[in-house]
A and B are shown apart, each in its own frame.
Chain A
Amino acid sequence: MHMEKYLILNTLSYPVLSVIMLVPLVGALISLLIKDELRLKVFGLLVTLVTFVLSLPLYTCFDLHTAKYQFAELRPWFSLLKLNYVVGVDGISVLLALLTTFIMPFCILCSWRYIAKRLGEFIFVVLIMETAMIGVFISLNTVLFYIFWEAMLIPMFLLIAVWGGARKDYASVKFFLYTLCGSVFLLVAIVALYIKTGTFFIPALMDQEYSFAYQMWIFLACALAFAIKVPMYPFHTWLPAAHVEAPTAGSVILASILLKMGGYGFLRFCLPMAPAATLYCMPYLIALSLISIIFGGYLALGQTDIKKLIAYSSVGHMGFVTLGIFLLNDQGLKGAILQMINHGITTGGLFIMVGMIYERTHSREIADNSALGMMIPIYVTFLGIFCLSSLAFPGTNSFVGEFLVLLGAFKKSTLVGFLAIPGAILAAAYMLRLLQRMVWHNSDGHGHHHDEAEEGNHGHALTDLNFREISMVVVLTFFVFWIGLYPTPLLKIMDASVVHLLQQLSAGGATVPVDPHAGHHALLELGSWFKQIMIF
């Protein structure tokens, strides 16, 4: 079969990708039988940990020297449409799949006390969510990809709508409809590609040559879905609402994994399948990324709600990711992928920290949570680490990612580089402001009850982190510094795939029209297609 030239079939003793996808699903079904609350939590934690352990061979047995899809499995599924069940990972998706299995135990742990009602359903929903998210990253078939992509909506919707905050109705419906509408055109693009080429197999779709106008169609249809998921300015408005209202575990899943799917989608669909269109649209997407960076940073600067601040900082950080992707050079792409991992760890950590303080003070306002440094020193230490990591302090993980992206930006054009730098400065500004208020903050009398002594601050004394909480943040902190000081293993894993992606781009980019106005002609052609549709 011609499909096998793209794949290295799984040689491990068990079908690793299917197993890590199905273990949470089976676990979810079993969890329905458990009634006791503590057992439920322990069971959920065990399932996610087992999944993580089972996914470790993806890292240890990964072949660094090939851009082919490894650990692949291929089974017939729906022959009428020549659909196969085919999964596999390359250097890009393996990192994101590992990130997913790594983050999920934290989602259970950070909900240990936070989720006060309907715990059984919570564990069920989180585990289903894990299956869907892993599925997205390992699918090598567009239909399989789309099924997981959409199936994720329901559990995420429920996470916000059932366990969310005060405005959960608004936030959950907005999230659901926004992302659903975004993926409408993705499905049309998937089917259109099938009709053109007769296959749903992603690597084979990358190898085809399409006309420029066709590429534009495919690019725009896919890019809309992914830009909403990332979210890129101006499609970001669902994110703050969803983040603020979601429970801690929901925010962590959203920030650490869901947003990465947008970036992953760009890398998997837009760039390799529509290289000429990518080159043509590159300036616009770089511009949107820069706007995201600065806009997100500015909005974060003005927030009084901690969670909202981190949500807007996510818009800025993900702007760096899309910027890196659309620089279309080696440093940019590597920086972007690394930044996706970093953002998953750092922002996940920050949301966990917010959840911890919310459990203690029942407020997410900065003003209500100020001057904590004396009271809960362990907490603020780790908060400081994650904040520094978020603003890309040297030695932490984000520094490496952001540095690579900026390097790529300066390589592309000095202007882009200079425009991106204010984003980094803004990140320092809002993160340090947050840190300063929460840790020290002079009780200078305005607004609140700080005139009284410290002990009266929150009505009762706050307890510092317990063992469960410390073990969570310690593990995350370890990765913050590990990637910050020694990112080489991760960069090595993605190297072959990034090089391959750049080859695809330069091969496909040769077909980009030389005539500077050709792009406009293509756009005009798009316009006339639109007219035809309207006329029918």
Chain B
Amino acid sequence: MQVMLILPELVLIVMVLVLFAASLKKIQGTALTSMTLVGAFLALVATVLSFCATGTLFVGAYQVDGLSQLIKFLLCGGLFLVFFMCRGLSGIEEEMQNEFYLFLTLSALGLVMMSSAVELLTILVCLEISSYALYVVISFRRGEGRRSEVEAGIKYVLFGAVATGISLFGLSYIFGLTHTTYLNEISIQLPKMMDQPMAVIGMVLMLCSFFYKLAMFPMHAWTPDIYQGASNETTTFIATLPKIGAVALLIRLVSMTGTGITEFTWVLVVIAVLSMTFGNLAALVQDDIKRLLAYSSIAHAGYMMVGLLCGNQLGMAAVIYYIAGYVLMNLACFMVIYYIAPRGENITFAGLKGLYRRSPVLAFTLAVGAFGMAGIPPTVGFTGKFVIFTAALEKGFYGLVVIAMVNASVSAFYYLKMARAVYCQGEEGEVQALQLGFGAKVFGAFLILAIIIVGIMPQGLMNLADQAVAALL
């Protein structure tokens, strides 16, 4: 059954084609929404069905293994959640709604393929599929002034192009060293060379594309402007799915360099420290919630890097666990932004004031999401950080973990600020109650429960992640 190997991809391709046809017919409204939701759900089912599949395709360039299937499951699950959350599309121009779904699905397809790609050029092609689709979507925003979203779109293109260019340059170094583009062959040769400057430089440059996707320090500068400029729906997508894909590839590429601590590891340590410190300090002074979340995502990329650079099984598995939890917590925050902005505008702290009176469900969702990101137990954010730091201490990175912990407590301040705005301010005066539909309430409850239950009982997801990375090392 070769078809089982690429079942999720096939479902997504069919979905893209159907959406394309729908865009020609200008099908809109409920029909379009239900079509995309069914499609995303089928893709999710397909990932479950093909979860245990293993094998290689396309002359060894495409590998279906534990890691790829777990990541595909997270991606399709995330896609379904994003589509379900944003099904109102209040921030997207009406005539663009078809294309919005089309391009996001296409981007997800690129990411799904990327998680299976084990050949450098294939990886790059998949990466470009997912990026190009997003370049277009950024500027689909309803609104009077089109300046900020166009600016955001252009910035995203330029940064993306530069990141890809740098990656290609690094790739040429790696190819020059190893004379192959297949990861499994590179991983045999590379660990011996990891103390050579050329290998270190090549690897770091090659990773830049993924740093860009994950908003890691040297490639982070696009994040706040794009988060702020793009519509709430698009930002929700950008803040979640591409990061899952980037994590998958970072795990594959970093694990290629072996488990020893080399010069390369120290470069990653510096990147991790700068990423979390810069992200947290900049987030402290933000007023726009989306900008704040952008900077916080830079910080979270830093925490994930701590797990990645350990190079041990526990660290890598913890990163997968962390990104899954991070997606849930991010969705919780963006859900609130999306539902309190009926016309798709950006939300500041003033807009959050007294939210508990307007909608208790949204208020609690935001509080759980924010405290989760701050790493307060019993949430998935705490458990993720805990396992990552355990892995790092196992490798002896005491200083790094202390810096990360100090960062986590700095970050608590601005997450606390969100919770305070929601629960402790705006007690007086008339407020307009927010009418949430049944679907939105269920969605909020799902996120709250997921964040807490996955946090208290990490066993299931951690075991899956552990098996997924076991094959790589």
Chain A residues within CB distance 8 Å of chain B: 77-81, 117, 121, 143, 146-148, 150-151, 153-154, 157-158, 161-162, 168-169, 172-173, 176-177, 180-181, 184-185, 187-188, 191-192, 194-195, 532-534, 536
22 cross-chain CB contacts under 8 A: A77-B457, A78-B458, A80-B314, A80-B459, A150-B376, A150-B377, A151-B376, A151-B378, A158-B423, A169-B424, A172-B424, A184-B405, A184-B409, A187-B386, A187-B389, A191-B390, A191-B393, A194-B390, A195-B393, A534-B399, A536-B266, A536-B400
Residue contact B382 to A79, C-beta cutoff 8 Å:
no
Partner of B401, one of A77, A81, A188: A188
Residue contact B402 to A188, C-beta cutoff 8 Å:
yes
A192 to B405 alpha-carbon distance, docked (Å): 14
Residue contact B405 to A80, C-beta cutoff 8 Å:
no
Partner of A79, one of B393, B412, B459: B459
Residue contact A162 to B424, C-beta cutoff 8 Å:
yes
A534 to B403 alpha-carbon distance, docked (Å): 11
A533 to B266 alpha-carbon distance, docked (Å): 13
Partner of B420, one of A78, A117, A148, A161: A161
B408 at the interface (CB under 8 A from A): yes
B349 at the interface (CB under 8 A from A): no
Residue contact A161 to B412, C-beta cutoff 8 Å:
no
Residue contact A153 to B413, C-beta cutoff 8 Å:
no
User: In the complex, what residue of chain B is closest to A146 when comparing beta carbons?
Assistant: B377
Residue contact B398 to A533, C-beta cutoff 8 Å:
yes
User: In the complex, what residue of chain B is closest to A160 when comparing beta carbons?
Assistant: B424
Residue contact A536 to B389, C-beta cutoff 8 Å:
no
Q: How far is the CB of A283 from chain B (nearest CB, A)?
A: 27
Residue contact B377 to A147, C-beta cutoff 8 Å:
yes
User: Assuming A150-B382, A191-B393, A536-B400, what are 6 further A-B pairs, CB within 8 angstroms?
Assistant: A169-B424, A184-B408, A191-B401, A192-B393, A195-B394, A536-B399
Main secondary structure of the interface of B (DSSP, over half): helix
Residues of the B chain whose Cβ atoms lie less than 8 Å from the Cβ of A180: 409, 412
Residue contact A188 to B405, C-beta cutoff 8 Å:
yes
Residue contact A161 to B423, C-beta cutoff 8 Å:
yes
Q: Which of B240-271 contact A (CB under 8 A)?
A: 266, 269
User: In the complex, what residue of chain A is closest to B390 when comparing beta carbons?
Assistant: A191
Q: Report if A177-B412 is in contact (Cβ < 8 Å); known contacts: A78-B459, A188-B393.
A: yes
User: In the complex, what residue of chain B is closest to A117 when comparing beta carbons?
Assistant: B427
A299 to B406 alpha-carbon distance, docked (Å): 32
Residue contact A187 to B398, C-beta cutoff 8 Å:
no
Residue contact A81 to B423, C-beta cutoff 8 Å:
no
Q: Report if A143-B314 is in contact (Cβ < 8 Å); known contacts: A157-B416, A168-B424.
A: no
Residues of the A chain whose Cβ atoms lie less than 8 Å from the Cβ of B356: 121
Partner of B462, one of A80, A162, A176: A80
Q: How far is the CB of B319 from chain A (nearest CB, A)?
A: 14
Residues of the B chain whose Cβ atoms lie less than 8 Å from the Cβ of A534: 399
Residue contact B371 to A195, C-beta cutoff 8 Å:
no
B99 at the interface (CB under 8 A from A): no
Residue contact B371 to A154, C-beta cutoff 8 Å:
yes
A536 to B400 alpha-carbon distance, docked (Å): 9
Residue contact A191 to B376, C-beta cutoff 8 Å:
no
A78 to B454 alpha-carbon distance, docked (Å): 12
Q: How far is the CB of B365 from chain A (nearest CB, A)?
A: 14
Q: How far is the CB of A280 from chain B (nearest CB, A)?
A: 21
User: In the complex, what residue of chain B is closest to A151 when comparing beta carbons?
Assistant: B377
User: In the complex, what residue of chain B is closest to A157 when comparing beta carbons?
Assistant: B416
A536 to B406 alpha-carbon distance, docked (Å): 17
Residues of the A chain whose Cβ atoms lie less than 8 Å from the Cβ of B317: 80
Residue contact A169 to B393, C-beta cutoff 8 Å:
no
User: In the complex, what residue of chain A is closest to B398 when comparing beta carbons?
Assistant: A533
Residues of the A chain whose Cβ atoms lie less than 8 Å from the Cβ of B401: 188, 191
Q: Which of B363-414 contact A (CB under 8 A)?
A: 371, 376-378, 382, 386-387, 389-390, 393-394, 398-402, 405-406, 408-409, 412-413
Residue contact B423 to A162, C-beta cutoff 8 Å:
yes
User: In the complex, what residue of chain B is closest to A529 when comparing beta carbons?
Assistant: B398
B128 at the interface (CB under 8 A from A): no
Residue contact B409 to A536, C-beta cutoff 8 Å:
no
Residue contact B386 to A80, C-beta cutoff 8 Å:
no
Q: How far is the CB of A127 from chain B (nearest CB, A)?
A: 15
Residue contact A185 to B405, C-beta cutoff 8 Å:
yes
User: In the complex, what residue of chain A is closest to B266 when comparing beta carbons?
Assistant: A536
Q: Report if A77-B459 is in contact (Cβ < 8 Å); known contacts: A184-B408, A188-B402, A533-B399.
A: yes
B466 at the interface (CB under 8 A from A): yes
Partner of B402, one of A121, A161, A176, A533: A533
User: In the complex, what residue of chain B is closest to A183 when comparing beta carbons?
Assistant: B409
B463 at the interface (CB under 8 A from A): yes
A242 to B379 alpha-carbon distance, docked (Å): 26
A81 to B313 alpha-carbon distance, docked (Å): 12
Residues of the B chain whose Cβ atoms lie less than 8 Å from the Cβ of A77: 457, 459
Residues of the A chain whose Cβ atoms lie less than 8 Å from the Cβ of B459: 77-80
Residues of the A chain whose Cβ atoms lie less than 8 Å from the Cβ of B387: 81
Among B398, B401, B466, the most chain A Cβ lie within 10 Å of the Cβ of B398
Residues of the A chain whose Cβ atoms lie less than 8 Å from the Cβ of B394: 195
A142 to B409 alpha-carbon distance, docked (Å): 20
A169 to B11 alpha-carbon distance, docked (Å): 52
Q: How far is the CB of B296 from chain A (nearest CB, A)?
A: 16
Residue contact A176 to B416, C-beta cutoff 8 Å:
yes
Residue contact B416 to A80, C-beta cutoff 8 Å:
no
User: In the complex, what residue of chain A is closest to B466 when comparing beta carbons?
Assistant: A80
Q: Which of B302-319 contact A (CB under 8 A)?
A: 314, 317
Partner of B376, one of A78, A153, A173, A184: A153
A194 to B266 alpha-carbon distance, docked (Å): 24
Residue contact B376 to A161, C-beta cutoff 8 Å:
no
Partner of A80, one of B399, B400, B463: B463
Q: How far is the CB of A457 from chain B (nearest CB, A)?
A: 32
Residue contact B409 to A177, C-beta cutoff 8 Å:
yes
Q: How far is the CB of A95 from chain B (nearest CB, A)?
A: 25
A536 to B399 alpha-carbon distance, docked (Å): 8
Q: How far is the CB of A80 from chain B (nearest CB, A)?
A: 5
User: In the complex, what residue of chain B is closest to A162 when comparing beta carbons?
Assistant: B424
A275 to B386 alpha-carbon distance, docked (Å): 27
Residues of the B chain whose Cβ atoms lie less than 8 Å from the Cβ of A184: 402, 405-406, 408-409
Residue contact A169 to B314, C-beta cutoff 8 Å:
no
Q: Which of B189-240 contact A (CB under 8 A)?
A: none
Residues of the A chain whose Cβ atoms lie less than 8 Å from the Cβ of B314: 80
Among B377, B387, B398, B416, the most chain A Cβ lie within 10 Å of the Cβ of B377
Residue contact B424 to A161, C-beta cutoff 8 Å:
yes
